[in-house]
Amino acid sequence: MALSAGTRRTVACVLVGLGAALLVAALMIPTYTVSKVAKTPLDLEITTIAENQPGEDSLVLDSKSLTSGDGPAVVNKNVPLISQRFVTVEEPSDADKMTLQAGQTLRRTDVQGDTGLLTAAIDRVTISRTTGMPVDEEPNGSIAVTVNKDGSVMEPVQHTGIGYRFPIGTEKKTYPYFDINVRKSFDANFIEETEINSTKVYRFQMIAPVTSTWDVVQSPTNRLTLPAAKWGVTDVPADAPVTMTRYYTNVRDLWVEPQTGTVVKGGESIHLFYARTADKPEVTALKSHIVFDESTVESQLAIAKENTDKLSLFGRIVPIVLGVLGVIALLAGLFLGLRGGSAPAHASPRGTRPTPAPTAADSGATRWDGDETPTTQFPRGDYDSPTEQIDTNKRP
């Protein structure tokens, strides 16, 4: 059924308005909605597992040998190690910031029970949900330095660099990376762009220089005084007391999915040693190259993909669909509006023939016949023929 002119104009206006609204939405979503979506989710809960690499040094000091026996300290070789980290979101957290808590342990798996625990730490930091950087508050974090029967004792620590997440939209540049072992930030330099399981990642590397752990936390294990023989020192008498400090250095590699800032793979070449001076290691406390296992890498890739799909949906797919629908609605409205603006031709009344154009013969003018007797003819069409002829020559 054909629409009336008024209805066509109404529908045209509706379509034009709808098309314009869809086009505006297509333009606004990438700039407004994506900024709301492009944040680290508050339901973040990540477990990572890293293991020492086969064929590389994995050395661990037997701590019991420091306090027992007459011989020098014993350093075990080829020790299987596993590092576990569990990251959760805690309060305070809101639309712009989030507090991450990371519990991390390093164990040797060839020893049962608590004796296999080498290091343990709990770190808390409040970060921006977009940049991954610690918030501008003091203190913005804390680290557990002692564990006793009452639980962990957290000491306020000011964090100064990223730690567990890179920024949304990670760039090929240098970022400050916070090392909880020495509580300082060091440059994480961009090394290369590569792929892990067909996913583009950026590799960064951070080098923590040799640092005295005693200067960080003055715990008994960070500075020890023992007989020279126990340290294996031969340049002084065997029973002479020798004080050594524990030093730390690390080369940390990080593979980051750039759109989401997810660390999909991580590795550490960690070295702890006792020495009288920082430039001359004397007794190794820990030396190993620890890297995320395959299950952790796959899990991190899945998290990154889930978030990139969400960003792609609101940043590209939805705007394209709305834009196409908007153009279609706009063109349909304009077409219908322009078509409805031209008035249709009026039809003749039913049963009435159209009146032909008058001719010279029908104009009512005087016509001369062949005998030159003028006769007057009336126009045909709107007049009926006379029913009686009147003889004008008839006389009374």
DSSP characters over 130-188? TT-PBPS-SS-EEEEEEEETTEEEEEE----SB-S-PPTT--SS-EEEEETTTTEEEEE
Is pLDDT above 90 for 237?
yes
* 3-state secondary structure (DSSP) of residue 87: strand
In 3D, which of 308, 298, 211, 194 has the Cα closest to residue 253? 194
Mean of pLDDT values over 337-353: 53
Write down the pLDDT at residue 113: 75
Write down the pLDDT at residue 375: 47
In 3D, which of 270, 87, 105 has the Cα closest to residue 164? 87
Q: What percent of the chain has pLDDT over 70?
A: 72
Q: Average pLDDT over the chain, rounded to whole? A: 82
Residue 273: is it exposed, middle or buried by C-beta count within 10 angstroms (0-12/13-18/19+)? buried
**Digit-coded pLDDT (tens) for 49-64:** 999 999 999 999 998 8
Write down the pLDDT at residue 71: 85
Is pLDDT above 90 for 339?
no
The answer to whether the bond into 241 is cis (omega within 30° of 0) is no
Q: What percent of the chain has pLDDT over 90?
A: 57
CA dist 28 to 11, 37, 40, 314, Å? 26, 13, 21, 10
Rounded distance between C-alpha atoms, residue 285 and residue 61, angstroms: 5
Residue 246: is it exposed, middle or buried by C-beta count within 10 angstroms (0-12/13-18/19+)? buried
Is pLDDT above 90 for 26?
no
Instruction: DSSP for 347-359, please give it.
Output: PPPTT-PPPPPP-
Kindly indicate the confidence band of residue 369, based on its pLDDT and cuts at 50, 70 and 90: very low
The distance from CA 97 to its chain's CA centroid, rounded to whole angstroms, is 15
Range with lowest mean pLDDT among 108-122, 265-279, 366-380? 366-380
Is pLDDT above 50 for 346?
no
CA dihedral 320, 322, 323, 327 (to 10 degrees): 140
Are 249 and 237 in contact by the 8 Å Cβ rule? The answer is no
Sign of dihedral through CA atoms 347, 348, 353, 359? Answer: negative
Are 142 and 126 in contact by the 8 Å Cβ rule? The answer is no
Rounded distance between C-alpha atoms, residue 225 and residue 34, angstroms: 58
In 3D, which of 70, 67, 124, 118 has the Cα closest to residue 97? 124
The contacts of residue 241 (CB under 8 Å, 6+ apart) are 225, 226, 227, 228
Write down the pLDDT at residue 392: 46
The answer to whether the bond into 92 is cis (omega within 30° of 0) is yes
Rounded distance between C-alpha atoms, residue 28 and residue 40, angstroms: 21
Max CA-CA distance within the chain?
180
Tokens representing 361 are 């013969």
The more confidently predicted of residues 229 and 376 is 229
Mean of pLDDT values over 310-331: 66
Rounded distance between C-alpha atoms, residue 89 and residue 57, angstroms: 35
**Digit-coded pLDDT (tens) for 135-160:** 999 999 999 976 555 556 889 999 99
Write down the pLDDT at residue 31: 60
Write down the pLDDT at residue 360: 44
* 3-state secondary structure (DSSP) of residue 41: coil
